[in-house]
A and B are shown apart, each in its own frame.
Chain A
Amino acid sequence: MRKSVEWRPYVAGALLGVLATLSVWASTAVLGKTQYLGASTTFVRAAGMVEQTVAPEHVDRSPYFLKEKVKVDWQFMLIVGVFIGALASSLADGSFKLETIPPVWRERFGNSAARRAVGGVLGGVLAMFGARMADGCPSGHGLSGLMQLSVSGFLALAFFFGIGALVAAVVYRGKGVRP
């Protein structure tokens, strides 16, 4: 039986396109510098802040931290805002749910929170190393890159998703979400 069309992702997505446009306009008008939505550089700054607590000289001498500048900037606060917005929105419509293991993961790897922690950390290390090498993530390359019709965005998103699909097919083989 065919399901009726679920408009939610289209409407929320189109509104994100409006937000991205307003944000580009507002940042240019207010700050004099056009800011595009992105996320992964914030993780570099967070890493720099963590390292500063134990080895401040090391951070001061690091060419990459000097290039990306360890500070709480526009994008850092954007990501703080994403947390607040998601929390408020999920509490408002009752979709907030405490979850320690994703159901899809549990079907394949069982009920061990430790195993999920290892998967999350290893996946996170790999993904962020890759995102910094590629100079962006699905937000910076995918959304902002494609909105600007940048060749880098098309190429990056094709590899993110293409390799993601290949690896997911191996990792979650025979299991996964019910359609």
Chain B
Amino acid sequence: MSEQWLGLITGVFFGILLQQGRVLRFEKQVGAMLLKDMTIMKFMLSAILVGMIGIHLLVGLGLAQFSLKATQLWAIVIGGTLFGAGWAVMGFCPGTAVGALGEGRVHAVWAIVGMVAGAGLFAEAYPALQNTVLAAGNLGKISLPGVLGVSPWAVIPALAAVFILVFVFFEKKGL
């Protein structure tokens, strides 16, 4: 099978789960940022809880490799700040904007147009950023267990416990 077909099939299931989780909607995204409706956090943390176990098992069995992104401090701090501000105004993140269009939220097309333009602008800015912001404070591809000097199987149960406590808190507060 080609990478395109595999991507398409995976994406259809990804789209179904995003839609069934009800996380594609503007009001759910903005609701989370206003700390009033934590649907998207419940969805993301549940996915991470299961996925971190599955992926570490696969890598442990030699059936997959990690693909960590470098921890570039300034790029993540500045880029993350710009992203957060844009996310609040746009009301979608990149994947959910496309999914929202699929469920009939035609206004998501403006977010998609803006994001394609933003990607084009970044391509123009890249030569200037490459040796400045993007090169500063690069700590390389580091993982939490690596930094702590422990096995991932020590971190995973601890993180799972934190996530479950967060879920209990959300449900108690009716978020």
A: residues with CB less than 8 A from B are 2-3, 5-6, 8-31, 34-37, 39-40, 42-44, 46-48, 50-51, 62-65, 67, 72-90, 93, 95-105, 113, 116-117, 119-156, 158-169, 171-172, 176-177, 179
Q: Of all chain A residues, which has the CB nearest B134?
A: A133
12 contacts between A and B (CB under 8 A): A18-B54, A21-B57, A28-B63, A89-B15, A95-B22, A127-B115, A131-B94, A135-B76, A147-B48, A159-B76, A171-B89, A177-B31
Query: A85 is contacted by which of B15, B85, B129 (Cβ under 8 Å)?
Result: B15
Q: Which residues of A contact B119 (CB under 8 A)?
A: 40, 43-44, 46-47, 128-129, 132
Evaluate contact between A81 and B15: CB separation under 8 angstroms.
Answer: yes
CB neighbours of A159 from chain B (8 A): 76-77, 80-81, 83-84
Residues 70-96 of B, flagged 1 when their CB comes within 8 A of A and 0 if not, give 111101111111111111111101110
Which B residues are in CB contact (< 8 Å) with A151? 71, 139, 142-144, 147
Tell me the nearest residue of chain B to A13, going by C-beta.
B46
**Other-chain contact of A48, B4, B86, B123 (Cβ < 8 Å):** B123
Q: How many angstroms between the C-alpha atoms of A23 and B10 in the bound complex?
A: 7
B152 to chain A, nearest CB (A): 6
Are the C-beta atoms of A85 and B11 separated by less than 8 Å?
yes
Q: Give Cα A26 to B144, complex, Å.
A: 26
Please give, as numbers and ranges, the residues of chain A lying within 8 Å of B102 by CB-CB distance.
82-87, 90
Q: B90 CB to closest chain A CB, in angstroms?
A: 3
Question: Is B94 within 8 A of A77, CB to CB?
Answer: no
Partner of A149, one of B35, B144, B167: B144
Q: Which residues of B come within 8 Å of A, CB atoms?
A: 1, 3-27, 30-37, 39-40, 42-58, 63-73, 75-91, 93-95, 97-127, 129-130, 133-134, 139, 141-145, 147, 152, 155-156, 159, 167, 171, 174-175
Max chain B C-beta neighbours (<10 A), residue from A83, A143, A149: A149
Inter-chain CA distance A87–B108, complex, in Å, is 14
- Asked if B79 and A133 make an inter-chain contact with CB atoms under 8 angstroms apart, the answer reads yes
Closest 5 CB pairs of A and B: A81-B11, A124-B114, A85-B15, A17-B50, A127-B86
Find out whether the CB atom of A120 lies under 8 angstroms from the CB atom of B48. Answer: no
**Chain A positions within 8 Å of B112 at CB level:** 124
Chain B nearest CB: distance from A99 CB in Å?
A: 5
Determine the distance from Cα of A24 to Cα of B137 in the docked complex, in whole angstroms: 30
**Interface contact B69-A135, CB-CB below 8 Å:** yes
Pick from B4, B27, B64: contact of A104, CB below 8 A.
B27
Which residue of B has the minimal Cβ distance to A70?
B123
Known pairs A127-B83, A159-B83, A172-B34; A134 contacts B90 (CB<8 A) = no
CB of A135, distance to nearest CB on chain B (Å): 5
Shortest CB-to-CB span from B57 to chain A, Å, is: 8
CA distance A42 to B36 in the complex (A): 31
**Max chain B CB contacts within 10 Å: which of A39, A125, A161?**
A125
Name the A residues within 8 Å of B175 (CB-CB): 179
Contact status A138-B44, CB under 8 Å: yes
The listed residue (B17, B44, B46, B79) touching A135 by CB distance below 8 A is B79
